[in-house]
Structures are given as C-alpha cells and as structure tokens.
Structure 1
Amino acid sequence: MTYCLGIKTNDGLVMASDSRTNAGFDQVNVCRKMHTFEAPGERVFILLASGSLSCSQSIVTLLERDFQEGRGLAAAETFYDAARAVGEQVRRVADLDRAALERDDYRFNVHLILGGQIRGQPHDLYLIYPQGNPLRASEDSPFLQIGECKYGRPILDRGIRHDRTTLQDAARYALISIDSTMRSNVTVGPPIDLLVYADGELRVSRYRRFAAKDPDLLAIHTQWEQALRKAVQEVPEIDFDPPPSSDG
C-alpha cells in the first residue's frame, strides 16, 4: 500500500510520500514514490505515484525519456497540458499492460499527483486517475491524497486552509498526516520523502528524506501523541442524563 499527499497554499506546495511497497510477515519492500523533473529557472514538476509499482515505474520512465528529449512535461505550455501529458503516458502503459494484467486477475491501478510550476504561471496541483484524466486542487479542496488516505485525512481537513496555512505549517501537517497513517496501517512506512516548493522558485531547494529512526520524525511522533492526549484531557467533561425513574 501507499500514502502520498500534495498540499497547495497561496505560498506554494508541500509534497510528501511514504516508501513502502508491500508488507507481509516475512517481506517488507521499499521504493521511492516521489519523482522530480526540473529545468531550473524554467519549470519544475514533482510527481507522486501509488498503485501498481511496475506500471508506475513504466510511466515515470516514459515521462523521463520525453523530458530529456524536450517533449511531454518539458514542452507543456500550461500546467493543465502537463497534467494531460502525464495522463497520456498512463493511458499508453494501460494499453501495453492492462489486458495481460486483467487476464491474471490484476487490476490496472495507478494514481498520480503532479505538482509544480511553469515559469510565468502560478504553481498548481493535479491528481491523475488510472484512466488518465486530471483533477485540479482548488482553494476549497487544497490538498490531494492517493493510496491509504483515510487515517491521514482528518488532520488535513481540520488544519489546512489555502489562504492561511504557511508552507512550514503545511509541512508539519503533512508529516503528522503520514505519521498518523503509519500508526494505524502497517502497509504504509518509512522512509518518508518531503519536498517544500515556494511559489516562483522554479527549482527544488527544500527536500528531505526521513528514515524510520530519524530523530526529528520521532520527535514529531512523540510530541503529537502527547499533545493529542493533553487536548483530549482539556475537552469539557461529558454530562450524562440522569437514569430513568423506576416509578411507573
């Protein structure tokens, strides 16, 4: 399983992903799910992938090949065009592999989040579905998730505001969201990739990978749990109705 998320605010983007590809009693595999495409000063894209690892790797390989040759993401005139370029490669891989997968009862399942910026345009964030069609983040829905979403969503719903959340706070929310998911689902796990992109940078300047025993990640985990317990204790006590009378 996977958990990846992208957050869009007035100030820029925060992108985060786990690295666990499968988890069993005797096998845990790790693979990077965050990929960057960068032409410094001109454009930068951050791609997060969930679903079939073999299919997502094929999609990333095709995107990288086109980018190096000046096509696809390298030639997109708008960010919508960039999201469509990713969708075209999703459909291309589906055409190559879907029939063989479904013949052996495997579903073609790839979800992608694309964030970044093209020079002269605002930063943006899209989700690309397995059919290749894109969905754009908005001010009312300023974050996108793929993979194991449910455990990490409540903190984002309560905290993220497009016009008020700073990039530093968005990064905190992203790490807490992933930590909450790891706490409740063993199929999501470290290392955690975190990238913060400020509007207008047009390059990757703030990236960090958190290993399982990273002291900062452990501190966030511990402090969040302690703060949550303290907050619960400070919630007003619950008043209960008196028991019903036994008369009559």
Structure 2
Amino acid sequence: MTYCVGMRLNAGLIFMSDTRTNAGMDNISTVKKMHTWEVPGERSIVIMTAGNLATTQSVISLLDERSKAPEDRNPSILEAPSMFQIAREVGSTLREVIQSNDPSGPKAEATFGASMIVGGQIAGSGPRLFLVYPAGNFIEASDDTPFFQIGEAKYGKPILVRAHDQEMGFEDALKLLFVSFDSTIKSNLSVGLPLDYVTYEADSMRITHQERIEADDPYFQMVSNGWGEALKLAFDQLPPFSFDRDSDASS
C-alpha cells in the first residue's frame, strides 16, 4: 500500500509520499513514489504514484523516455503547453499501460490499477494540481478541494480536513503532513518511512525544497511524540460522559 498527499497553498504546491511497498508481510521494500521533471525557468512537474508497482514504474519509465529520446518526444510532458495537457498525457499513458497488461477493461483496472497525483507549473500560467484515476480521467484541485490523497488515505485525512489553511506557509504545511503521515503509519503497517517531500514555490519554476525523511529524523520523532501527547491532553480536557446527562441538563 501507499500514502501520498499533494496540497495546494497560496504559496505554491507541496507533495509528500511514503516509500514502503509490500507483496506480503515478509516481502517489504523501499521504493521511490515521487518523481520530478524540470526545465529551468520554464516548467516544474511532480508526479506521485500509488497502486500496482509494475504499472506505476512502467508509466514513469514511458514518461521519462518520451522526455529524453528525440524520436519519442511527441507527446512529451516537457513539451506539453499546459499542466492540463500534462495531466491528459499522464492519464493516457496510465490507461495505455493498464490495457497493454490485460486488455479486458474493468478487470485490468482492478488487477493492474494505479492512481497518480500530478502537479506543477508552466511559465505563463499558475500552479495546478490534478488527481489521475486508473481509467485515465482526472480532476483538478480547487478552493473547495485543496488537497488530494492516494493510497491509504483514511487515517491521515481528518487532520488535513480540520487544519489545512490556504494561507499557511510551507513549514506549517510540512508539520501538518508529518502529523497526517504519522497517524497513517501508526494505523497501517503497509505505509512506512522514509518519507519524501517536495515544495514548489509559485512562479519559481524550480523545485524549492526536496528531502527524504528517515525513521530517525529528530523533527519527525518530535512531531510524532508531541502529537500523541497533545491528543491525550485534549482528550483529558473534554468533560466526562455522564449516564445522568439528560437529568443534569434539565435541572
């Protein structure tokens, strides 16, 4: 399983992914799920992947080859005129890989399925963020839907819904994502460290920060321990439940 989050802020875009993959509890390994492409001063692109590993690696390899080999550059995500067209190309490539593995349509989507978060910016337009589904269709982030999750999303979503703010800076957004990932890691053994993150500052046309967070990272450990203690403190501060609450309220 996987957990990836792409988030839209006024300051730009931020991405985080775990690196655990498993084919059974005795076959766990680390695999990079975040991939970046850049043309300095012209475009920056980030793609995160979740789902069947063979499918996602094939899609990334095809996109990468088509961006390098001159005879394969049409279509290429490094030449597409907009982020919308890049999302279309990613979706088309994903659908192509799934159908090439098994042309039986819906069955192939279930067996070889994958989903992807695509974000970035091309000079002349603003930063954009998309969620690409196994069928190749996609949706775009908006003020009403400012972040996307793929993979094991349910454990880390509540804190994002409650605490996300378009006005927050990258540092606070990373702290929020660390809490979201820590909650997921503690709830599901198929998601695990190291974590990869990328920040992209709007209109910079370059990756602003990119780092891998290892299991012994002191800040992540501080956030993990501090969040657990804060939850216990908040729970203790809630008023106690009373079996006689109806009579208490009427008196």
TM-score under structure 1 length normalisation: 0.91
In structure 1, the residue matched to 2:231 is 228
Distance 1:136 1:90 in 2: 17
Distance 1:236 1:242 in 2: 11
Does residue 91 of the first structure (1) align with residue 102 of the second (2)? no
Deviations 1:138-157 (A, max 9, x none): 10110000000000000001
Does residue 10 of the first structure (1) align with residue 10 of the second (2)? yes
Q: Gaps (5+ residues) in structure 1?
A: none
Does residue 153 of the first structure (1) align with residue 157 of the second (2)? yes
Residue 15 of structure 1 aligns to a residue in which SS? strand
| Worse overlay, 200-209 or 94-103 | 94-103
Distance 1:122 1:3 in 2: 26
Give the superposed CA RMSD.
Answer: 2.2
In structure 2, the residue matched to 1:175 is 178
2:125 to 104, 121, 137: 121
Distance 1:218 1:64 in 2: 35
Distance 1:4 1:105 in 2: 20
Cα 1:225–1:67 shift into 2, 3 Å: same
Does residue 26 of the first structure (1) align with residue 26 of the second (2)? yes
| Worse overlay, 24-33 or 46-55 | 24-33
Does residue 137 of the first structure (1) align with residue 141 of the second (2)? yes
| Worse overlay, 229-238 or 30-39 | 229-238
Cα 1:90–1:203 shift into 2, 3 Å: same
Does residue 59 of the first structure (1) align with residue 59 of the second (2)? yes
1:217 to 212, 217, 220: 220
Check the 8 A contact 1:34/1:48 in 2, yes or no.
yes
Give how far 1:60 is off. 0.2
Identity %: 38
Give the aligned length. 243
Give how far 1:18 is off. 0.4
Distance 2:154 2:111 in 1: 21
Check the 8 A contact 1:37/1:46 in 2, yes or no.
yes
Give how far 1:5 is off. 0.7
In structure 2, the residue matched to 1:191 is 194
In structure 1, the residue matched to 2:35 is 35
Q: Which letter does structure 2 place at the counterpart of 1:218?
A: Q
Give how far 1:125 is off. 0.5
Distance 1:11 1:92 in 2: 35
Distance 2:112 2:23 in 1: 20
| Worse overlay, 222-231 or 177-186 | 222-231
Q: Which letter does structure 1 place at the counterpart of 2:119?
A: G
Give how far 1:170 is off. 1.4
Distance 2:85 2:51 in 1: 23
Give how far 1:235 is off. 2.5
Q: Which letter does structure 1 place at the counterpart of 2:201?
A: A
Deviations 1:151-199 (A, max 9, x none): 000000101133x232221111111111110000000001100111110
TM-score under structure 2 length normalisation: 0.90
Deviations 1:81-113 (A, max 9, x none): 110011111121122112489989971211000
Give how far 1:24 is off. 3.8
Check the 8 A contact 2:47/2:119 in 1, yes or no.
yes
